[in-house]
Structure 1
Amino acid sequence: RKAMAWAMDYKIVVEKLFPGSIQSRGPVPQTLPGADPRVFQYYRDLDKAILELKQSKYYAELDKYPVTVHWCAEVPDEEKVALLFMSNMADIGINVKVVKVPWMSMIEEMATMETSPNIVTIFDSAHYPEAGSLLESRYMSESAATWEQNEWLLDTELDTMINDSVKTIDRGERFAKYVEIQRYITDLCPTLFLFDQVEKHAYQATYVDWPAARGEVIPVMGYNFAGRFIKVYPDKQAELLK
């Protein structure tokens, strides 16, 4: 896993495939309260990748163990990431098979360990604006049979850490525990943390007041489109139509 993390070209991801986005720093987006701004961040280094790969018992026969990556058919941009991954892994001798799979089929196959592919490409977001939300939904054992966790960590120590953190009332103490968990997960390296997605949307600034466009962002999926926060001025629109 760490060999793959070192071999991935994150620079191409954020500069060419998803321009405007930033490379992820661990399992929590940097805009989310409780994110660790100093958690270790991988970068492309093939020498380090080979050193990690040589520690694997499969190193001498990598050709016998191709890695299958499933990307979501309804999200065409994911194919670009999967193909880049395939190219990057070829640089260290890992054969990758890229497969286009409908979303509902992905959900079905990730329901059991036996049918889960080696890797799936997903976008995920917090259910409430704190790091604990994402840590819980992505890495708790309870989520292992869902689309949110193809890693199948089943790590009881991590479960205990996450449960303890989200039950901690004091904000400072809770965030400190989030930091510890993020570093624990990053050290395990169960996931390639590629980029924090930047959403781009067109809107009519002349007569629509959209808080998200002013930088007042709610870091929970979909909340930036809550109609109660968006103001529309018909009189200003009418002026445009004269």
Structure 2
Amino acid sequence: MSPSTALVPRMKPADIASFFATLRAANPQPASELEYTTVFELLAAVLLSAQATDVSVNKATRRLFLVANTPQQLLDLGEAKVADHIKTIGLYRNKAKHLLQTCRILVDQHGGQVPRSRDALEALPGVGRKTANVVLNVAFGEPTNAVDTHVFRVSNRTGLAPGRTTLAVEQQLDTRVPPAYRQDAHHWLILHGRYVCTARSPKCGDCTVRLQCSTGRKLKLD
């Protein structure tokens, strides 16, 4: 049986703590599956990952970052060559354009460095709230919640942080996730949604947090 992401009962606080304790026990140090070695590489990879898989982005950035991996180097490379390096990623032409525009702003306004301010990050072309949250969390250690399709689905399906928009889910996560788990919460949710609580045919029978899930605990599994 496939659970729906329709509105379900909100997860109880005790279940939330158990939910994250279980996920942490299985994966004490979750991390992004995007490959990067610098803050700028992380920003570029997340920008390129919109509507694309991490696998496809990593395949492209392995080639690109060998040639150019700083804002100035990418500007020197030029939009056409950047696009050629990332052409295996969906929407690669627009992404190359946005990436180069972002590089220009970083060089002209931030000394070639990635800013630590949310407002400054969201002012960069191709960088929305989710990308800014990833950079703030992963690169700068802030307990932000980046809500992608996996986090949105898991938050609603389990009753952890129900909301009709990504911002609503983010705001719910900010208040409902216990402080001890906030730094890594969105990583656990992404990985859980990517590999267990999938959009189609979720693996409820193999789910270690099914009994905390407001949907999963009601399922009758063979």
TM-score higher than 0.5 here? no
User: Does 1 or 2 have the higher relative contact order (CA < 8 Å, sep 6+)?
Assistant: 2
Structure number with bigger Rg: 1
TM-score range for the pair, normalised by the shorter chain length: under 0.3
Higher strand share: 1
Instruction: Flag the structure with higher helix content.
Output: 2
What is the TM-score normalised by the length of structure 1? 0.22
